[in-house]
Amino acid sequence: MTPDDALPGADARARDPQAERGAPLGEPLFSEPADEARRIGDEGLLEILDAAIADERAAQARYRRGADRCVDPAACALFARLLDEEKAHEADLLARYDEVKRRLGLA
């Protein structure tokens, strides 16, 4: 038995290996009732984006530490690539954050 076996729809996924994973529309998002998840307003979205930006910055710090400590050229290149990806994620999230703030009249 795998961890996925305990998830709803596990039997269907076992029969159809191409079945899409994840929660289909209508199921809870982030352990919230589906109706609540659909009602997340701009203020809630700002909170989620703020946490996601913090996560991206933490990931950048981890990859920077990895790059500073690595000796293998392939590992160093991997850390550099991952760091660049996290910076791009942060920039995208910051743009979305600013967009929501403008909608709320906070910018």
pTM of the model: 0.61
Number of domains in the chain: 2
- At 104 the pLDDT is 86
The pLDDT of residue 25: 41
Domain range for 99: 41-107
Return the pLDDT at 40: 65
User: pLDDT digits over 7-37, tens only?
Assistant: 444 444 344 444 444 434 444 445 554 455 4
Are the beta carbons of 62 and 81 closer than 8 angstroms? no
* Contact status, residue 9 vs residue 19, Cβ threshold 8 Å: yes
- Residue 49 and residue 27 in one domain: no
Domain check: are 58 and 100 in the same one?
Answer: yes
Residues 88 and 46 in one domain: yes
Residues 50 and 6 in one domain: no
Q: Are residues 63 and 35 located together in one domain of the fold?
A: no
71: tokens are 């000796």
One domain for residues 24 and 73: no
